[in-house]
Structure 1
Amino acid sequence: MTGVPQVHFAGAAFHSLRGQGVIVTGGAGGIGADIVRAFAEQGCRVGFVDRDAGAGAALAAGLEGVHFEPCDVTDVPALQAAIARLAEAAGGVDVLVNNVANDQRHRIEEVTPAYFDERIAVNLRPHFFATQAVLVSMRARGGGSIVNIGSGSWKNKARGLAVYATAKSAMLGFTRCLARELGPDRIRVNCVVPGWVMTERQLALWVDAEGEAEMDRNHCLPGRIVGRDIAHMVLFLAADTARMVTAQEFVVDAGWD
């Protein structure tokens, strides 16, 4: 495969999302960028953070009503300050998408305590503290939707991802406990679990002939998963159409799991 598959399909219009304030972590590239674009197309006021200042600025410049804050999400005070600025620009937060992640491969024998902590600081800790940062705004607005992005890697017992998969499997427990705690505030919390999504990063680093054959063997549906497939599920969960949906896990993996 030489590039991201070009999949053409018409997305639904979620009218309840128009004008909503949305924040996305890790939104400059890959799945995150597709999520940012999808919310912008719905007429939302979108803010996103990412450490890639160049890619983030370029994405925001091409979209109406989108604001970008460069940020290292491992710096919790900086992350929460960036979210506060984005919330002000959006006029409040109705939707948070905890997307940021990095699936760096590692051999378990080579993992040090410092490396372990750094991976958790990217793949788990920001989700908690980004959520903490939006609660005042969501409660003031009478509710909201939090969507955590998980991963099918731990379900599929992928090699070389023990620390990453540990963090991503925690998304389900985080989701369910938050849903119970925040439900009285009309804040819904759900988890979207992507399969192997054909982002530029995946294609450049990990997808080879063996990987292609593995997808062909395990997918129930022909074709490849792209970022828009994940973004459309996120839109559904953010919109009023999912008003009584919370504490749930939604797998988008072409039937692999």
Structure 2
Amino acid sequence: MPAIYPDLRDKTVIVTGGASGIGAAIVEAFAAQGARVGVLDLDAEAGTALVDRLAGDGATAQFEPVDLRDIPALRAAIVAVRAALGPIGVLINNAARDDRHPTEEVEPDYFDERMATNFRHQFFASQAVLPDMVALGGGAVVSLSSIVPMVGMGGMPVYSAAKSAVVGLARSLARDYGRHNVRVNVIAPGWIMTERQKTLWLTPEADAMRAERQCLPRRLVPEDIARVAVFLASEDASGITGQTQVVDGGWL
């Protein structure tokens, strides 16, 4: 059974990209802690279905449909969650898309869109909730990066650059807001078997490569990331900030 952290009960949490995949697992994990969860995602159908299911189980959750590349819309969604659920004590910057793109084909517009999809919203979501955390006397931001830049994986240079930027942002915010008891950490997942990954990239050859490179033989699943996110948001991690936790089954 997953650990229970009493300090997370009734805490307001925002999860970006929370309608499916790793994000949905994180939403469910916080709901199981008794937190009030705001779900931000572009996929209105999946987000609404998730929140309705959680509400049926007695959880408190609110879905805000939003394109995170639209910063005014992102800010408005956070305002709506705050109005409904209270000041934000935890932010999980999860949303991203690992689309492949050869270097020679990248144009400026595509570059900007990839950075907006994979990094820019993390800054502005953090900016929007940090005043809440300061007023509350503390809080936690957990941002998702990737092992992609750590292993030097090719075929997605802009994604890799964006995920590297996540770490730099977190370390800077950890330094600036630590005096307010706000902790900022990063999770760097390895290959997590979401439905998207299984549909787009999982082949027998790729799975054999994964099994060879990981220390652990099993496939990693979204719940592996969700449990770490909940821990880092809890007071059990009160001494941890400015750090990157790799969750890759021993790939690195």
What's 2:240 paired with? 245
> Residue 166 of structure 1 aligns to which amino acid in structure 2?
A
Distance 2:19 2:234 in 1: 22
What's 2:165 paired with? 170
Distance 2:195 2:72 in 1: 30
What's 1:144 paired with? 139
CA displacement 1:99-125 (0-9 Å, x = unmatched)? 010111111111000000000011010
Please tell me whether residue 201 in structure 1 is matched to residue 192 in structure 2: no
Gaps of 5+ in 1: 1-9
What's 1:6 paired with? none
Gaps of 5+ in 2: none
> Residue 10 of structure 2 aligns to which amino acid in structure 1?
G
Judging by fraction of residues, say which structure has more helix.
2
What's 2:60 paired with? 65
Please give the TM-score of this superposition, normalised by the length of structure 2: 0.97
CA RMSD in angstroms comes to 0.7
* Aligned residue among 211, 218, 235 for 2:206: 211
**What is the SS of the residue equivalent to 2:88?**
coil
Superposed counterparts of 1:102-117, under 5 Å: 102-117=97-112
Number of corresponding residues: 248
CA displacement 1:118-158 (0-9 Å, x = unmatched)? 00011010000000110221111111000010111111222
* Aligned residue among 219, 222, 226 for 1:231: 226
Q: CA deviation at 1:209?
A: 1.3
Q: CA deviation at 1:229?
A: 0.4
What's 1:160 paired with? 155
Q: CA deviation at 1:159?
A: 2.3
Distance 2:148 2:216 in 1: 18
Q: Write out the 4+ residue segments of structure 1 that deviate beyond 4 Å after TM superposition.
A: none
Percent identity of equivalent pairs: 51
Superposed counterparts of 1:37-116, under 5 Å: 37-63=28-54, 64-116=59-111
> Residue 25 of structure 2 aligns to which amino acid in structure 1?
D
Q: CA deviation at 1:173?
A: 0.9
Distance 2:132 2:230 in 1: 20
> Residue 232 of structure 1 aligns to which amino acid in structure 2?
R
Distance 2:251 2:224 in 1: 15
Q: CA deviation at 1:172?
A: 1.1
* Aligned residue among 16, 22, 28 for 2:19: 28
**What is the SS of the residue equivalent to 1:24?**
strand
**What is the SS of the residue equivalent to 1:255?**
coil
Q: CA deviation at 1:183?
A: 0.5
What's 2:113 paired with? 118
> Residue 109 of structure 1 aligns to which amino acid in structure 2?
E
CA displacement 1:29-52 (0-9 Å, x = unmatched)? 110000000000000000010000
CA displacement 1:6-64 (0-9 Å, x = unmatched)? xxxx2111111111110011101110000000000000000010000100000110112
Distance 2:119 2:65 in 1: 19
Q: CA deviation at 1:228?
A: 0.4
* Aligned residue among 4, 25, 35 for 1:13: 4
Please give the TM-score of this superposition, normalised by the length of structure 1: 0.95
**What is the SS of the residue equivalent to 1:155?**
helix
Distance 1:90 1:180 in 2: 28
Q: CA deviation at 1:69?
A: 0.2
**What is the SS of the residue equivalent to 1:72?**
coil
Q: CA deviation at 1:197?
A: 0.1
